[in-house]
Structure 1
Amino acid sequence: MKLTLRSASAAAAVLLASLIAVSDASATQAADQAVAADEAQAAEAAQAADVPPVFTLSTSTVQAGKKVVLSSDGWSDLTGEELHPTYVYLISAAEGLVASGTTSTGAGPWSFALKVPGERRDYEYDAWPTEWEVCVTREAFVYGGCRVLTVTAPPIPVVDVHRFWSPTLGNAHIYTTNADEVAHIRATDPSWVYEGQAFSTVAVSADGWCTVGPPVYRFYSPVVQSHFYTQSFEEKQHLVTSDPNWTYEGIAYCAPDSPKQGSVPLYRFWSSAFGKHFYTANQAEADHLKAVDRNWSYEGIAYYVWPLGTGGRV
């Protein structure tokens, strides 16, 4: 009988120990689940804080003196509240854009204007970086984030320069981008021989500005029956104020004064025998004049132009 009681007691002890172990395991599992839930909630909150709204640029091109507008529909926090940024700032390439104010609409799309620096109108297409890291954030810097926006400079429209030569006017030349002038000379003036398109350059904008490089000034002298082209403002002013033999005819076209992608030099020559200047972007023609033609003296690079066949864009 005692052996039986002892066996029952042992069995009860084993059962009790088993129940205690199960209870401890359940408690541990519940605690682990609670910790995991807390960690998941924290990760979700951190992710929500780090994910910025999707925003876009009003234009994919940038130009000096112009504004670029960022816009977005905002984003939601963990409670479902729609959030809108109150600050926009630049992390990298800050010389390319400057903030011009802050905007928070509270509801609906928001916008933020960024200004591209530069008051000069002779925008150099390769003068700006192509990417800006722009960041948006809430007031307390809790929600927000950054995006790298890729922007491109506007392509430069180029025009062809037509060349005329006159054997009867002492080897004079005319260079023009004006199609009406080309047609008029070819139709009415037998003194000029049309030599075709010489090179490409940038036309004057509709409002009379040069968007790339300084202007090229054009003069005409009835005394020497010749046109003269210069990019030098000092040379232009000297002729306008001090030399009555020359009449200023305005800006012929625009051209960079330093090498640009795909550009070539325009070589300038002077002939005291003819009293004329001559310009060419043809390397072989320039080399020939330098080597064998004593009538022409090389004066250096006038400015830079593009070869023909650029498709109207550079």
Structure 2
Amino acid sequence: MARTRKGRDLSGWLVVDKPAGMTSTSVVNKVRWALDAKKAGHAGTLDPEATGVLAVALGEATKTVPYITDALKAYVFTIRLGQATNTDDAEGEVIAESDLRPDDQAIKDALGAFVGDIMQVPPQFSAVKVDGERAYKKARDGEEMELAARPLWVEELLLVDRPDADHVVLEMTCGKGGYVRSIARDLGLALGCYAHVVTLHRSWSGPFQAKDGITLEDIERLAKTPELDTYVQPLEIGLTDLQEVRCLAESVAKLRNGNPATVIASDVEFGEEVWASYEGRAIAVGTYRGGEFQPSRVFVA
């Protein structure tokens, strides 16, 4: 018999301003405990030492996670010039050094190669699977791997500060699957001086902003209280990048059972992926077919 998961049937999003020193999974577990939620997951991993937006989906909102994962997101990060590490961040061992320190203009000129559609090789210490095992586990055992390059869309990459000769602060807006550590590593190689990430902050992800996130301290302080529930944002926010169509009262039951139904729409193209609502609440995600909606993912009431 399948084990029944305990907790409340709570659906929505809790945006956490993640602190350094915790894994994304640990934050999700803390949120699930504090809200006594039956189901929770996150929309995009942050490295343990990274800070900023970690959007935690609760209940039925977990069905909207792919739309947040696919959305643009922004990072502000500091890189250390002159050193390469085996992890491409400050947690690793220094494996190469250089006395060269490019000036600001040289750095700005090099950034152009990292904007647009680029190919990026993940760090050796990453969650990419190699022969069924996480790359970081193989790397910890001293195994070197040839990881395949992956496509990444970089909307923007800017130099925003130069605190001293050794450090550069950059801001990047990118799509799904970007490794900031790889950007730092490859930029250092392009500049001929090596580089690695020192600090990393995700300032926003899709519709979620770090400045609007709740801290872990406040989550612990408000745990198991109605006040913490007030920080939970509606499930529908996870569907911001999709067009909305409205369904009639008599269509709700059909859609919830996975059947097509008539909807009201404007400026929606045939075959477009959309979400259907009734009185502002999400009923399903699916495909618009000229006045009819075919559900592919249904939200339980």
Structure 2-normalised TM-score? 0.30
**Greater relative CO (CA pairs within 8 A, separation 6+):** 2
Larger radius of gyration: 1
Structure 1-normalised TM-score? 0.29
